[in-house]
Amino acid sequence: MTQDLLESHKGGIATLTLNRPAARNAFSREMMDALSEALPRLALDPAVRLVVVTGTGAAFSAGGDVKGFARAAGGAAAAVPMSFDHKVTDLRARMEVARWLHEMPKPTLAVIPGPAAGAGLSLALACDLRIAADDAKLTTAFSKIGLSGDFGGSYFLHHLVGAAKAREMYFTGQVILGDEAQRIGLVNRSVPAAALAEAARAWAAELAALPTVAIGYMKRNLNTGLCGSLAEVLDAEAIHMVRTFETDDHKGAAAAFVEKRPPQFQGR
């Protein structure tokens, strides 16, 4: 257990809170280890119908710990020196948290109260949906410290805002505020900072009430559509449509339609 990542559950919503407020919720080894453990577990938990990722205080996450980078660049020796290949393998393993957020069979929501920078922004982009305070600052930031970027931001940003804008954001490290982020499709919703908590709670409740199994298959279809062929998408849609015909949620919703009443999805 670590206090660097807080986990809470309510009404089918699992909330993971990055919790290093003094460092603007910058990543730590303990935080990443906790995320790596929590996300696969939540993905398989039938009681969880939505995963929310947010940050404590006035920030989402500053991403990597730049002070730690500076110490390493200054020659601070690691307890156990690592080879180049070991460093690559270690980083790649930690980056799996982005894949889990993107691919887990239930919706994921990033709530962005303030700065989301570098790998912190990448983590938010890995979620299916994003809601941000209108004054939250979003930036890739990597070029400002001479790094190339990690945690999938190159993939997610390209698909969200297009190739040219993604290159501009990566090359220049420009800062984009929440209201502008909504305009260009970087976040889904932007609200005044004072209204963020309530708006996020209301949206999370709506998402958790959806037919969770069908949402999981929708994610697979849409993810296939990002890079797959039309034939691959049609194959996925056919398989998943037949599977969802067999769910209790579909059968209950079909009966509700006939009886002219709202469906009540149970996530199975």
Per-residue pLDDT tens digits for 98-108: 999 999 999 99
Considering the domain architecture, whether residues 154 and 249 belong to the same structural domain is answered as no
Q: In sequence order, what are the residues at sequence separation of 6 or more whose Cβ sits closer than 8 angstroms to the Cβ of residue 193?
A: 113, 133, 134, 135, 136
Domain containing residue 124: CATH number: 3.90.226.10
At 112, which helix (H) or strand (E)? strand 108-112
Considering the domain architecture, whether residues 79 and 175 belong to the same structural domain is answered as yes
What pLDDT is stored for residue 81 in this prediction? Answer: 79
Mean pLDDT of the chain: 92
What pLDDT is stored for residue 254 in this prediction? Answer: 85
What pLDDT is stored for residue 75 in this prediction? Answer: 56
In this structure, is residue 263 part of a structural domain? no
Region 136-140: mean pLDDT is 97
Considering the domain architecture, whether residues 99 and 148 belong to the same structural domain is answered as yes
What pLDDT is stored for residue 255 in this prediction? Answer: 87
Taking the mean position of all CA atoms in its chain, how far away is CA 75?
A: 34
Considering the domain architecture, whether residues 53 and 90 belong to the same structural domain is answered as yes
Considering the domain architecture, whether residues 150 and 199 belong to the same structural domain is answered as yes
- Pairing type for strands 176-177 and 137-139 reads antiparallel
Considering the domain architecture, whether residues 195 and 234 belong to the same structural domain is answered as no
What pLDDT is stored for residue 68 in this prediction? Answer: 65
- End-to-end, the C-alpha distance of the chain in Å comes to 31
Report the candidate in 189, 225, 26, 254 with the shortest Cα–Cα distance to residue 123: 26
The range of the structural domain enclosing residue 240 comes to 212-258
In this structure, is residue 31 part of a structural domain? yes
Region 31-49: mean pLDDT is 96
Considering the domain architecture, whether residues 220 and 204 belong to the same structural domain is answered as no
74, amino acid identity? G
What pLDDT is stored for residue 252 in this prediction? Answer: 85
In this structure, is residue 266 part of a structural domain? no
In this structure, is residue 199 part of a structural domain? yes
3-state helix, strand, coil in the chain (%, to 5): 55, 15, 30
In this structure, is residue 267 part of a structural domain? no
- Among residues 193, 208, 223, the one where a domain terminates is 208
Query: Helices 96-103 and 84-94 sit at what angle, rounded to 10 degrees?
Result: 30
pLDDT in tens, 222-241: 999 998 999 999 999 999 99
pLDDT in tens, 192-227: 999 999 999 999 999 999 999 999 999 999 999 998
Region 117-135: mean pLDDT is 97
Report the candidate in 104, 107, 119, 112 with the shortest Cα–Cα distance to residue 39: 104
- Of all residues in the chain, the percent with pLDDT exceeding 70 is 94
Considering the domain architecture, whether residues 118 and 230 belong to the same structural domain is answered as no
pLDDT in tens, 66-98: 666 555 555 555 567 788 999 999 999 999 999
CA–CA dist 46, 12 (Å, integer)? 9
Considering the domain architecture, whether residues 125 and 169 belong to the same structural domain is answered as yes
Q: What total number of domains does the chain contain?
A: 2
58, amino acid identity? A
Region 144-155: mean pLDDT is 93
CA–CA dist 142, 6 (Å, integer)? 27
Region 143-153: mean pLDDT is 93
In this structure, is residue 264 part of a structural domain? no
Region 139-163: mean pLDDT is 94
Considering the domain architecture, whether residues 197 and 129 belong to the same structural domain is answered as yes
In this structure, is residue 202 part of a structural domain? yes
In this structure, is residue 22 part of a structural domain? yes
What pLDDT is stored for residue 92 in this prediction? Answer: 93
